Chain A
Amino acid sequence: MYCIINGETIHLPAHVRTVAQLLHHFHIHKKIAIVEINMHIVPKEDYEHTAIADGDRIEIVHFVGGG
């Protein structure tokens, strides 16, 4: 399926169906990520069972520590 991730249309392989799998796909640790789907923020405890669908607009923000 195709999703718009951080403003770019990106093709996702078939096995990526949930937010948790999406983060894993991009090698982002779930503890340091904030995920918004179609303008709705997803609480961390819901990552495993929140499904993503074709055409979803997804924003992923990850925390960094530098300065």
Chain B
Amino acid sequence: MNRYSRQQLFAPIGEKGQQCIRKKHVLIIGAGALGAANAETLVRAGVGKVTIVDRDYVEWSNLQRQQLYTEDDAAKQLPKAIAAFAHLQAINHDVVVEPIVADADARVLDRLVARGRPDVIIDSTDNFDVRMIINDVSQKYDVPWIYGACVGSYGLSYVIIPNETPCLRCLLEEVPLGIATCDIAGIISPAVHMVVAHQTAEALKICIHAPVNRKLVSFDIWHGQYRMIDVQKLKKDDCPSCGKTRTYPALQYENETKFAVLCGRETVQIRPAQRREREWTALISFLQQKGIQVVQNDYLCSFTVDGRRFVVFSDGRVFIHGTNDIQEAKKLYYQYLG
């Protein structure tokens, strides 16, 4: 019996669609909750190749929702990409799985897409800096990508097809600073799976060249809300990512969020590309609800979490005291400040 028989019985895919899926290459950015679930679904579905990129390792707090990982992975602190690779190969050895332990910055993503020529890129990251890079790489190499994100019981998904649909920058204009993250507001597994269900359904459609859902989907799985908005009118001719004159701003070094160790101070400074006001009202109220003391004046706010002191300046800069490790600072920054 063919392992894909039930999927082939589904008329829109069929035997021909399955043959198509078997030849496709999917690039998944991030191997956290979204990445693990996306990878498992697509590997079971029998795509030809999955490349999965992640800079992090498995921790106990991941096991509640990051479905590929086991207690053993957490005990060994295995890199997520490596742990994912082993489990995915055990699930379906027909699929070529390529794990990449790396920080998905502009240089890494540009090279991965230029060299690997994936058929679709799936966003499973936890921050907008990387999403804007994916957005530009997608336009540069004409590869569709699927945005997905969730916090609490809320989530969204949206498909970007270069030269056809508005890109993420058309919808967002700039990287938002100071919005809710899973490490502040929490996350439940059903919200992850709802996002992944949308992302993988659209990925399968792209694999068989079927029309995708062009609407922005959002939902709250706890409060029973679901909506779809037609955003096609938001496509901008002057968008620097997908418009007539493109500069791919997220691929320019000067537009990257910079991380630097402040010598002799056990401190890492994080500087977003543009100076801009940081929205911290929501962050502060979350921290206060959790009983974390926040010191605040007109110029900065500071608080301590995970034994590290954060100082957040109103011009967008952040200091993380108590570490000289840029990778650790990077992780903490995106965990708490999006």
Q: What residues make up the interface of A, taking CB atoms closer than 8 Å to B?
A: 6-7, 27, 29, 31-32, 34, 36, 39, 41, 43-44, 59, 61, 63-67
Given contacts A32-B172, A34-B229, A36-B229, contact A65 B181 (CB under 8 A): yes
Whether B179 lies near A32 (C-beta < 8 A) is: yes
Task: Assess whether B34 is interfacial by the CB under 8 Å rule.
Answer: yes
Whether A65 lies near B230 (C-beta < 8 A) is: no
Contacts of A67 in B (CB 8 A): 30, 32-35, 123-126, 148-150, 182, 192, 195
Whether B172 lies near A31 (C-beta < 8 A) is: yes
Contacts of A44 in B (CB 8 A): 173
Contacts of A43 in B (CB 8 A): 233-234
Task: Assess whether B154 is interfacial by the CB under 8 Å rule.
Answer: yes
Task: Assess whether B338 is interfacial by the CB under 8 Å rule.
Answer: yes
Whether B229 lies near A66 (C-beta < 8 A) is: no
Task: Assess whether B227 is interfacial by the CB under 8 Å rule.
Answer: yes
Contact pick for B179, options A7, A29, A36, CB 8 Å: A29
Contacts of A41 in B (CB 8 A): 229-231, 233-234
Whether A65 lies near B156 (C-beta < 8 A) is: no
- Closest residue of chain B to A7 (Cβ to Cβ) is B225
Q: What residues make up the interface of B, taking CB atoms closer than 8 Å to A?
A: 30, 32-35, 123-128, 131, 148-151, 154-156, 171-174, 176, 179-182, 185, 187, 192, 195, 216, 218, 225, 227, 229-231, 233-234, 279, 281-282, 338
- Closest residue of chain A to B230 (Cβ to Cβ) is A41
Q: Work out how many contacts link A and B, with CB atoms closer than 8 A.
A: 90
List 11 additional contacts besides A59-B227, A67-B123; criterion CB under 8 Å.
A7-B225, A32-B172, A39-B230, A41-B229, A61-B227, A64-B149, A64-B154, A64-B180, A65-B151, A65-B180, A66-B150
Given contacts A66-B126, A67-B126, contact A61 B179 (CB under 8 A): no
Contacts of B227 in A (CB 8 A): 6-7, 59, 61
Query: How far does the Cβ of A61 sit from chain B's closest Cβ, in whole Å?
Result: 5
15 contacts between A and B (CB under 8 A): A36-B230, A39-B230, A43-B233, A59-B229, A61-B218, A63-B156, A63-B172, A64-B149, A64-B156, A64-B180, A65-B338, A67-B30, A67-B32, A67-B34, A67-B126
Alpha-carbon separation in the docked complex, A59 to B216 (Å): 12
Ranked nearest first, the 9 interchain pairs of A and B with the lowest CB-CB distance are A66-B182, A66-B151, A67-B34, A64-B151, A65-B338, A32-B176, A61-B218, A67-B126, A64-B149
Alpha-carbon separation in the docked complex, A39 to B231 (Å): 10
Contacts of A63 in B (CB 8 A): 128, 149, 156, 171-172, 176, 179
Whether B151 lies near A29 (C-beta < 8 A) is: no
Query: How far does the Cβ of B225 sit from chain A's closest Cβ, in whole Å?
Result: 6
Contacts of B216 in A (CB 8 A): 34, 61
Alpha-carbon separation in the docked complex, A67 to B171 (Å): 19
Contacts of A61 in B (CB 8 A): 156, 216, 218, 227, 229
Contacts of A36 in B (CB 8 A): 229-230
Whether A31 lies near B173 (C-beta < 8 A) is: yes
Alpha-carbon separation in the docked complex, A45 to B99 (Å): 42
Whether B174 lies near A65 (C-beta < 8 A) is: no
Whether A65 lies near B179 (C-beta < 8 A) is: yes
